[in-house]
Chain A
């Protein structure tokens, strides 16, 4: 029992509601939201330490012992993700301070960011399947509003597509929950795992697991990513960066949770399907990233590639690959936010998103150019930066388990990531500059400082990987040994 566990969810919800009453006081809204994220960061670091010393933490709401009540369970995996969410959101908020229109800020932007974060953190921490659904919906409702905020035609069009697709996938989610409840008679993740282990996962439960796979594939953009490029390219930069960094990751988290804790008895069937889907996602995402000339689309397709890459770790499911996936997940949240912010700054400065109309930016904005260069290397997995460890570990796992095709696809896609971003870099930053000294827009400090912080974070995560190594290996260990989780939840 540890009551601090509820704060990453409760704090943003309460602040999000309270800020509605301070609509016109924008400075207050800004700094209170920022403070919430900083507090969440502190809490998650404290929780991480606590889990390291005392094992997996649990909070039973209302004192109802599991499996009867609703409970929050925090293991290293979920708390690491809560930590990264707090970092990324805090920095995206900093960026939003100077890039959002006043009118958007007045339309409850900060309230909805808080609610989005509440949903994301809730999904990471919950120990109950239905609660996972509820937190997903909280997150999605906030994202519907953020996507439509501003009300440009393209945003509205993408928003309605996004809403309908997510409603249908949420429907599948409830259908899966209903069938699982009918079959197994519980929705507590630990007890589900226990009961399915007792029955050895009969074929019907494997079918239900495929229903869940479909749901999370839709939410995470695993092969079923057709809705993603449009809806992530439409909203203002700060919101797009939040979406790119957080939303698909929740789907990935849910997939990791379900397929390592609950449905892990038929890996030949389920994990093979995940592997095939991940491979196809890598191919599709790479084609998209190389095909477009619109910077926004290139960035968005890079999100899809990383989804495929992370899930290769789950498909392979060796300890190294799991660790690699967790490293890569953390790295990806930070780097995707940075990439979206940089692309957004480029588009704002040049007023166009087509890369063949931009050139020579590095003469006017050297810092921006170098940060783009670093993010490119980081995403391709060049050693000093944070993507390297994840890629190496996933690759090592793939070799160990003999899945050479996945290995080839994973590293082939890395080369295409490098190629697609290098193309943007060459075209936009090198060559003759298109911007005169007179009409040059100065890049605001408020745009560059958040990007710089994220750049430092990715370098820091690459060089200081040892500082989180113990937590990551602990997280991978818990994922691969479901008994630990069950023990912590059901037996006191």
Chain B
């Protein structure tokens, strides 16, 4: 199971890298979102995947580790915030320059 999830995380990183390197701004942002999900899967896998009961005393013997879930939850919230702000930023840039193509905004160092 761990191997499978690791491979999945790898595929996500590949996709994300491809998207981030593209010219279109919106693809870059989607790429960063996918990248963070790959990291979340990695955290889950590193914590160890196993079937078990809730980590409360007296609820069975085989507990799962609650920490990776807590970490991922926090990280997902942060990921949402960052994706939201970059989408807003992309929209503002589109309003300002009427283009989504990163190559076309070379050269306005000054106004």
Contact = CB atoms under 8 A, between A and B. Distances in A.
Interface of A: 130, 133-134, 137, 141, 144-145, 148, 151-154, 156-157, 159-160, 163-164, 167-168, 170-171, 174-175, 177-179, 181-182, 187
Contacts of B18: none
B89 interface: yes
A182 B47 contact: yes
A154 B32 contact: no
A156 B85 CA distance: 12
Contacts of A145: 85
Given A144-B89, A168-B20, 17 more contacts: A130-B71, A130-B74, A134-B74, A137-B82, A145-B85, A154-B108, A157-B105, A160-B25, A160-B90, A174-B75, A175-B39, A179-B46, A181-B47, A181-B67, A181-B71, A182-B46, A182-B47
A382 to B, nearest CB: 34
Interface in B86-105: 86, 89-90, 92-93, 96-97, 105
A177 B81 CA distance: 20
A167 B109 CA distance: 23
B86 A181 contact: no
A156 B96 contact: yes
Contact of B68 (A137, A144, A181): A181
A167 B29 CA distance: 10
22 contacts: A130-B74, A141-B81, A145-B85, A151-B92, A154-B108, A156-B89, A160-B90, A163-B86, A164-B32, A167-B35, A167-B86, A168-B35, A170-B36, A171-B32, A171-B35, A171-B39, A174-B36, A175-B42, A178-B39, A178-B45, A181-B43, A182-B45
Nearest to B46: A182
A178 B81 CA distance: 21
B111 interface: yes
B46 A153 contact: no
Contact of A152 (B39, B47, B111): B111
Nearest to B42: A178
Residues of B in contact with A, size category: 35 or more
A141 to B, nearest CB: 6
A181 B40 CA distance: 13
Interface of B: 20, 25, 28-29, 32, 35-36, 38-40, 42-43, 45-47, 67-68, 71, 74-75, 78, 81-82, 85-86, 89-90, 92-93, 96-97, 105, 108-111
Main secondary structure of the interface of A (DSSP, over half): helix
A187 B97 CA distance: 44
Contact of A160 (B20, B75, B78, B86): B86
Contacts of A133: 75
Contacts of A182: 45-47
Contact of A174 (B43, B93, B109, B110): B43
A164 B92 CA distance: 16
B6 to A, nearest CB: 11
- 10 nearest CB pairs, A to B: A182-B46, A174-B39, A178-B43, A167-B32, A178-B46, A178-B42, A156-B93, A137-B78, A153-B108, A171-B35
Nearest to B40: A174
B108 A160 contact: no
Contacts of A187: 67, 71
Contacts of A178: 39, 42-43, 45-46
A160 B111 contact: no
A141 B86 CA distance: 10
Nearest to A181: B46
Contacts of B81: 137, 141
Nearest to B108: A153
B43 A177 contact: yes
Contacts of B25: 160
Residue of A159, A167, A182, A187 most packed against chain B (CB within 10 A) = A167
A163 B82 contact: yes
A151 B35 contact: no
Given A153-B96, A156-B89, A141 B82 contact: yes
Contacts of B92: 148, 151, 156
